[in-house]
Every structure is written in C-alpha cells, then in structure tokens.
Amino acid sequence: MPISPQPETVRAYLDALTAALRAEKCPPGLIVDALNDCEEHLRNEIAQNPERSEADVLASVVETYGTPAEIAEEYKSMEATLSGPFPKTEIPQDERPYGFFNVLSDPRTYGALVYMLLSLATGIFYFVWTVTGISLSFGFAVLIIGIPFALLFIGSIRVLAHVEGRIVEALLGVRMPRRLPATTASEETVWARVKDVLSDVRTWSSMFYLLLMFPLGVAYFAIAIVGLACSIGITGGALFGLITGHVNVQMDDNPWLQHFLQTAPGLFVFAIAGLLLFFVVLHIARGIGALHGRIAEVLLVRL
C-alpha cells in the first residue's frame, strides 16, 4: 500500500481527513464535527507557534494528534459508543423487521410522529423570523444600521439551523452537526469573515430550509392530527358501541351499511378498520421522518 504524503497545510490535512471519514462511511454530520474540531485544534497549534512554519507545526501535530486516517477511525469508534434511542449500525436489508405491525416497536416511528406534531409551531416561528429578518434587512439597507442588522440576522439563521439540526437528530435519528462551525483564522479581517459567511452555500440553503418548514410543518401537522383522530375515533367509537350498545351512526345514503354498523359484527369490523388505519398512520409518519431527515441533511449540512 502506498504511503500517503504528509499534509503540509491545514487545508490538505482537512481534505485528507474528509476522504478518510468518507471511506469509513461516516455520516455527513459527524464529518462536519470532526473537521471543525480538527481545524480548531490545528489553528490553535499554529497560533501558539508563530516562529515555525505551517508544515513544521503539522509535522509535529501528526505525531501527537494522529494522521487523518487515525483520527477518522477514532471518531468512528467514538460515535459507535454513544448510546441513544436509535440504532447506530445499519441493519442488513434481509434482517430488517419491516413487517406491517413491527412499526409499533420502531423508536423512529414515535420520534417522527412527535416531530410532525411539533413542526407546525417550529415552522411558523422559522417562517416569521426569516421573512421579518429579510424584510427589515432590505428596509434598513439605506440606513447606517442596515449592514450590522443584516449580519446579525444571517448569524441568527445559522444558529436556528443548528437548533433545528439538534431537533432533527433527537427525534428523527439523523446524525447532524453537534456544534457550530469553527471560527476562521484570527489573522483574517472582519470583512474576510463576512465574505466567508456570505459565500457559504450553507447560509442560503439554511435560510431556504427555514422558509420551507412552514408549508411542510402545516402538511405534517395536518397528516398527523387527521390520521390519529380518524383512527382513534373509529376504533374508540366502535368499542364504545360494543360495550354500551349505543351507536350513533347516520348514513342515509347507505342504509345497509348503517344497519350493519348497528350490529356487533359490524362494530367489530369497524374497530379493526380503525386499528389498521392507526398502523397505516404510523407507517406514514416513519416514512415522512426518513424523508425529512434526508431533506435536513442535504440543506443544513455542508462539507
């Protein structure tokens, strides 16, 4: 096996670490955290040794800190030891318990259901905050406070995106960045840092995500509420009728079905139908959770 050349710059070291983490099949959120930790450590080492060249500092750091391949292996091992409600390893396709009723034992189902119910409130908040910030930024553009306000607003977008990532990871089980991006090198000017933020695609994709959460939140909340209400209402109403013998079903256009639902067999079938609908809602919630986790990963995580 050929020996990889020694990285002589921070950028080369980070590129090698990125390649090693991808070779280990690490999720993007973990890669972002590892790169931020590594860059912060390397920048601090260089700042503490101003008399030495960047290549010399990196050469000594590799001896104590480790090569990119070693760091990648360490991060992967550390991630595997963290406990949580969701499995850390991918289950083989032929061993996945994806039967119709097994959705009841999948923790991602309930996390996705909670996320769908919560998404209306978060979606409205994100939308109002983003639209208000954009409007005020353009409105203040002619004033002296326009640029500082716009920069503060963009900073708040990155913070909100990070908070949303933590919610997505906690409820949907998608590994997201667990820390804000590392600050840029101290020798860069303020305007250079501003340029870095404005040129970062993650800034604008995060803003788009926060706006997108409003229609998605409305849809998720409606699906969850209507699905749960219908399934629980049908099953509960049928069981109530079986227990008390009191059934209040009016179907003037279909008298045969109305008569059938007045009988014990009809109520039993009605209860089973409501129970099956409940499982269908759980499957829909799990599917939406998986889909939205992918959307969040694409728009909020940038390598």
Judgement on whether residues 65 and 167 belong to the same structural domain of the protein = no
Judgement on whether residues 170 and 279 belong to the same structural domain of the protein = yes
Judgement on whether residues 108 and 218 belong to the same structural domain of the protein = yes
Q: What Å distances lie between residue 108 and 26, 85, 288, CA to CA?
A: 20, 8, 10
Q: Give pLDDT tens digits for 94-128.
A: 445 557 778 888 889 999 999 999 999 999 999 99
Judgement on whether residues 144 and 229 belong to the same structural domain of the protein = yes
- In order, the DSSP letters of 78-116 are HHHH---SS-SSPPPGGG----TTGGGG-HHHHHHHHHH
Judgement on whether residues 110 and 256 belong to the same structural domain of the protein = yes
By the 8 A CB rule, do 172 and 109 touch? Answer: no
**Which of 44, 63, 84 is at the close of a domain?**
84
Q: Is residue 266 assigned to a domain?
A: yes
Judgement on whether residues 39 and 130 belong to the same structural domain of the protein = no
By the 8 A CB rule, do 212 and 266 touch? Answer: no
Q: Give pLDDT tens digits for 36-83.
A: 888 888 888 888 888 888 888 888 878 888 888 888 888 888 887 775
Q: How many residues does the chain have?
A: 303
Counting beta carbons within 10 angstroms of the beta carbon of residue 140, is it exposed (0 to 12), middle (13 to 18) or buried (19 or more)?
Answer: middle
Q: How many domains does the chain have?
A: 2
Judgement on whether residues 107 and 169 belong to the same structural domain of the protein = yes
Judgement on whether residues 166 and 18 belong to the same structural domain of the protein = no
Token pair, residue 299, equals 């728009």
Average pLDDT score, the chain: 84
Judgement on whether residues 66 and 139 belong to the same structural domain of the protein = no
- Angle value at C-alpha 132, between 129 and 136, nearest 5 degrees: 135
Q: Give the residue from 40, 35, 45 showing the smallest Cα distance to 75.
A: 35
- Which percentage of the chain shows pLDDT scores above 70? 84
Q: Give the residue from 74, 49, 73, 79 showing the smallest Cα distance to 61.
A: 49
State mean pLDDT over 80-89.
65
Instruction: Say how far apart CA 21 and CA 35 lie, in whole Å.
Output: 10
> Is the pTM for the entire model greater than 0.85?
no
Instruction: Say how far apart CA 31 and CA 26 lie, in whole Å.
Output: 7
Q: Is residue 106 assigned to a domain?
A: yes
Q: Give the residue from 188, 193, 216 showing the smallest Cα distance to 203.
A: 193
**Which of 58, 84, 110 is at the close of a domain?**
84
Q: Is residue 90 assigned to a domain?
A: no
Domain assignment of residue 165, given as a range: 95-303
Per-residue pLDDT, 101: 78
